[in-house]
């Protein structure tokens, strides 16, 4: 049978703080456990140094872990792979091989290929238009002009004799002009100066 309740004060004197209350069970270490605090009977964790409690894994605003790099951040002097700084390698596309710019190459091709259609007029125009500005164009135009003048004279003589030769003296020189003008234009396209064979160089 359970023990009947005892009257107040039986457990201690009035000056005893535990008077009127059953004795608390002892805890390990030989003392009594402190009464639970308000708030559901749980103890608040002790404050950490710095005046506040910090949950595990919490990161204060503005704090940056060592070695962490913000997205989009670029270190000074860093260059992305494949990136080319403006003006580092000249204009886009670069100049053609053997020429200072694409305009020189265009006039050199006109001097050689144009002779097939209009004879010495094409290299003469190239020489007058760009000869004083570009030594490269001048060299191509002068070489093509000397060739066209030489074989222009041969074509004129061949035309006079074509009546007696059934046109052979006219056709053969014309084939020579076409073949060597094409060779000269192909060399110029590769950035090389072509020296025409069988040519008397009137202009230096």
Question: Would you list the DSSP string of 67-84?
Answer: T---TT---TT---TT--
Q: In DSSP terms, which residues pair with 26 in a beta bridge?
A: 32
Q: In DSSP terms, which residues pair with 32 in a beta bridge?
A: 26
Q: What is the mean pLDDT of residues 95-119?
A: 93
**What is residue 47's predicted lDDT score, i.e. its pLDDT?**
53
CA distance 178 to 33: 116
> Is the dihedral angle over the CA atoms 35, 41, 46, 52 positive or is it negative?
negative
Q: How far is CA 68 from CA 41, 63, 64, 65, 137, in A?
A: 42, 10, 7, 5, 59
Chain segment 39-86, per-residue pLDDT in tens:
554 455 555 555 555 555 555 555 555 555 555 555 555 455 544 444
**What is residue 86's predicted lDDT score, i.e. its pLDDT?**
44
Length reported for the chain: 204
The CA dihedral of 165, 167, 170, 171, to the nearest 10 degrees, is -120
Chain segment 183-204, per-residue pLDDT in tens:
999 999 999 999 999 999 999 8
126 membership: H or E segment, kind and range: helix 121-130
pLDDT exceeds 70 at position 133: yes
**In a 10 Å sphere around its CB, with 0-12 CB exposed, 13-18 middle and 19+ buried, how is residue 98 labelled?**
middle
Q: In DSSP terms, which residues pair with 23 in a beta bridge?
A: none
Q: How confident is the model at residue 181 (pLDDT cuts 50, 70, 90)?
A: very high
CA distance 181 to 171: 15
């Amino acid at each position: 049978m359970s023990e009947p309740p005892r009257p107040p004060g039986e457990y201690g004197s009035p000056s005893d703080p535990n008077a009127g209350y059953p004795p608390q069970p002892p805890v390990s270490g030989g003392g009594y456990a402190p009464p639970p605090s308000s708030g559901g009977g749980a103890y608040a964790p002790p404050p950490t140094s710095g005046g506040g409690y910090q949950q595990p894994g919490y990161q204060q605003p503005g704090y940056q872990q060592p070695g962490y790099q913000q997205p989009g951040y670029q270190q000074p002097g860093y260059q992305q792979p494949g990136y080319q700084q403006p003006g580092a390698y000249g204009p886009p596309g670069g100049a053609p091989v053997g020429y200072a710019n694409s305009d020189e190459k265009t006039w050199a091709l006109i001097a050689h290929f144009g002779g097939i259609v209009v004879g010495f007029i094409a290299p003469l125009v190239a020489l007058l238009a760009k000869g004083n500005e570009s030594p490269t164009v001048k060299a191509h135009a002068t070489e093509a002009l000397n060739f066209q003048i030489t074989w222009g004279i041969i074509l004129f003589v061949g035309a006079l004799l074509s009546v007696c030769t059934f046109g052979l003296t006219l056709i053969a020189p014309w084939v020579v002009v076409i073949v060597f003008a094409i060779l000269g234009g192909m060399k110029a396209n590769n950035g090389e100066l072509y020296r025409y064979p069988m040519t008397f160089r009137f202009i230096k």
